[in-house]
Structure 1
Amino acid sequence: MKPQSSPRFTGQVLLSAIASIAMGFSTLALAGVALDLSPQQPDRIRVQKDPVAVKAVSAQFHFVKDDTLTIGIHPTIPPISTYATDAKTVVGFDADLAQVVADSLGRKLELVPVAWADWPLALESGKVDAVLSNVTVTEERKLKFDFSSYRQDQVGFYVKSDSKIASLKEPKDVAGLRIVTDSGTNQEKILLAWDKENVAHGLKPVAVQYYDDVAVRNLALQSGRADAVFSVNATQAYQAAQQGKTRLVGTVSGGWPRTAELAIATRKGSGLADALTASLNDLIASGTYTRVLDRWNLGSEAIARSATNPPGLPKL
């Protein structure tokens, strides 16, 4: 069944909203969450060297720089990664996780900004030792790269703070609701699949809405023209903390019905992946990993244990 949709709106992209935030605030302390966009990052978490992780680095692996872990990163949008208020320092969850991983290996950290389309080349050419930039594990990517998982790839349902909706976690929960999502994305595929299942069982269809402009999308939710927004959890969690006008009522794996995980990518067979996995598991066990997640309001995306080359999303 085709979704019921509203007219498509065209306006400023999300980056313009982020820029205005960065210009006005270096630290956002809203909804009980402090989100620091300053270049200094005084509260960035640091750890000591982890002998187990250091020992796990293969003797055949050669770092780009002898005393440094060089990581490729694509500064996109907070809280995942973005530029600080100085417009040159990369901050966010990915940057913080990269720092504690470098610490655990007893190395300095160098972040190398790369375009999203260029991260495979940056890795294969030896420009960087690893890429930590919201990369989802897929079976196709595993043919060329090794992965050390560090976070769930989630999409989330967010509602107005005073909404009567308590939970949206399975197909029947969305029946008859007006839900905003993103065209051509995994979340759209999930929502349409749920809607199809509901209609087949005699439930009311979802009224799917699309807005290119994030401000218009938010207005639709706050004005009551939409019941919920179904989009990337990380960015919505940031917005909820920033504005205090929305709240999370359910998350779904971005690879539904399969589980999708985000991971640090390294060159296939290079000998670094097992060391990164060991580092991540030590950070999980010590509680440092949870502290880094919570610093950026991403606690709902935690994994229980890192794995080298976990099952990835299947080839299309």
Structure 2
Amino acid sequence: MRHSHHRASRSYLLAGSVLLAVSLTACTNASGAATGPANTGAPADAGAAAGSVEVNEAARDLLPDAIVASGTLKVASDPTYAPFEYYDTDNKTMIGFDVDFADAVGAALGLKVEHVPATFDTILAGLASGKYDMAMSAFSVTEEREKIVDFVEYLYTGTGIAVAPGNPLGISMDPLSMCGKKIAGQKGSIQSMEYLPGFSKECNAAGKEEIKIQNFPGQTDANLALASGRVDGVIADSVPLAYQGKESNGQFELAEGEDYDAVPFGIALAKDTGMKEAVAAAAKGVIAGGHYQELGDKWDFPESVLITADTIDQK
């Protein structure tokens, strides 16, 4: 699920753990449409400022003094994962659901948001070193990552598989349908590191040919491999896969069926900095105030993936 940090004073102690976390980074990580992010069209009102979000003084009061003094919230994302984060047609302006939601959280905190592009599997390390204040890149919340960073949940979605139009090979999220097939994932994602190897073992156990796993550095690369017939399927978060398939003019499509292993997505924050408390309070207000629902509508997200403010209270 694209689809994943800590401050400088803790970087040495966390170095080993961060290296592990970096390898566990994505649910998927994310990437743009098959033809590249420049061709991935945004909704008509993309880029609209979070002007309807007022400063949440209670949340702002929870911010670390250094963040208040800087006046800026540096947010890291891998802009290759439409519709969560990707480049607009100018190839430099980052847009997407995560970008909009981060802007809303920043507005609630009274901070200017600086969006920093980063390669997905380097974001955790950057957060750990204090390079970023927050990371928002369709990170799935896992126990392994929670040992390294704090999360504030904001979505709940699962994994799907993209296939050729019409799904001529009959591939689905049933592992046995993937046996002997070339299935791609994004390097560093849960799909490539955990799901596909596990599925391949199920093939072996059933006496079938193992999955020919192919990992790509970005989701766009994996999508291009599928569109050109070099792989038979791509697994990643279902929401972006469906979106990217539509934006690719039908070069691939999401296979029918339920999402596999739906999990929460979370905003990643360094531990022991006070950032989680402040961001959680800000996010809760944005969700309860209706702006969150507006973003879900704007990016055509199914209602099933959206959460309520009460979800944050339960964490």
TM-score by length of 2: 0.65
Q: Equivalents in 2 of 1:144, 1:128: separation in Å?
A: 15
Shift of 1:50: 5.8
Preserved CA contact (<8 Å) 1:68 1:107: yes
Q: Equivalents in 2 of 1:46, 1:250: separation in Å?
A: 38
Give SS of 1:270's match: coil
The equivalences for 1:188-267 within 5 A come to 188=192, 189-194=194-199, 196-197=201-202, 200=205, 208=212, 210=214, 214-220=223-229, 226=232, 228-245=233-250, 246-248=252-254, 249-250=256-257, 252=259, 256=261, 260-267=263-270
Shift of 1:77: 0.5
What are structure 1's unaligned runs of at least 5 residues?
1-13, 29-33, 311-316
Please say if 1:278 is aligned against 2:281.
Answer: yes
Q: Equivalents in 2 of 1:211, 1:268: separation in Å?
A: 31
Change in Cα spacing, 1:192 to 1:129, as seen in structure 2 (3 Å) is closer
> In terms of mean alpha carbon deviation, does 87-96 or 134-143 score higher?
134-143
Q: 1:158 maps to which residue?
A: 162
Q: Equivalents in 1 of 2:213, 2:122: separation in Å?
A: 32
Amino acid of the structure 2 residue aligned with 1:217:
L
Q: Equivalents in 2 of 1:208, 1:157: separation in Å?
A: 15
Give SS of 1:182's match: strand
Shift of 1:300: 7.3
The equivalences for 1:11-30 within 5 A come to 22=38, 25=39, 28=41
Change in Cα spacing, 1:240 to 1:105, as seen in structure 2 (3 Å) is same
Give SS of 1:265's match: strand
Q: Equivalents in 2 of 1:141, 1:186: separation in Å?
A: 11
The equivalences for 1:130-141 within 5 A come to 130-141=134-145
Q: Equivalents in 1 of 2:152, 2:248: separation in Å?
A: 33
Please say if 1:83 is aligned against 2:87.
Answer: yes
The C-alpha deviation readout for 1:182-216, integer Å capped at 9, x for no partner, is 386532442453454466568x6676464866434
What are structure 2's unaligned runs of at least 5 residues?
1-30
Change in Cα spacing, 1:166 to 1:85, as seen in structure 2 (3 Å) is same
Amino acid of the structure 2 residue aligned with 1:233:
S
Q: Equivalents in 1 of 2:48, 2:170: separation in Å?
A: 33
Give SS of 1:132's match: strand
Change in Cα spacing, 1:137 to 1:247, as seen in structure 2 (3 Å) is same
- Higher helix proportion, which one? 2
Q: 2:102 maps to which residue?
A: 98
4+ long deviations beyond 6 Å: 14-17, 164-167
Q: Equivalents in 1 of 2:112, 2:46: separation in Å?
A: 16
Please say if 1:49 is aligned against 2:54.
Answer: yes
- % identical equivalent positions: 24
Q: 2:271 maps to which residue?
A: 268
Q: Equivalents in 1 of 2:123, 2:78: separation in Å?
A: 12
Preserved CA contact (<8 Å) 1:69 1:109: yes
TM-score by length of 1: 0.64
Preserved CA contact (<8 Å) 2:156 2:263: yes
> In terms of mean alpha carbon deviation, does 188-197 or 206-215 score higher?
206-215
Amino acid of the structure 1 residue aligned with 2:87:
Y
The C-alpha deviation readout for 1:268-300, integer Å capped at 9, x for no partner, is 222231232233333334443243244345447
Q: Equivalents in 2 of 1:187, 1:124: separation in Å?
A: 23
Larger Rg: 1
Q: 2:24 maps to which residue?
A: none
Coordinate RMSD, CA, aligned? 4.2
Change in Cα spacing, 1:297 to 1:241, as seen in structure 2 (3 Å) is farther
Amino acid of the structure 1 residue aligned with 2:228:
L
Q: 2:295 maps to which residue?
A: 292
Q: 2:183 maps to which residue?
A: 180
Q: Equivalents in 2 of 1:106, 1:206: separation in Å?
A: 52
Give SS of 2:235's match: strand
Q: Equivalents in 2 of 1:60, 1:307: separation in Å?
A: 18
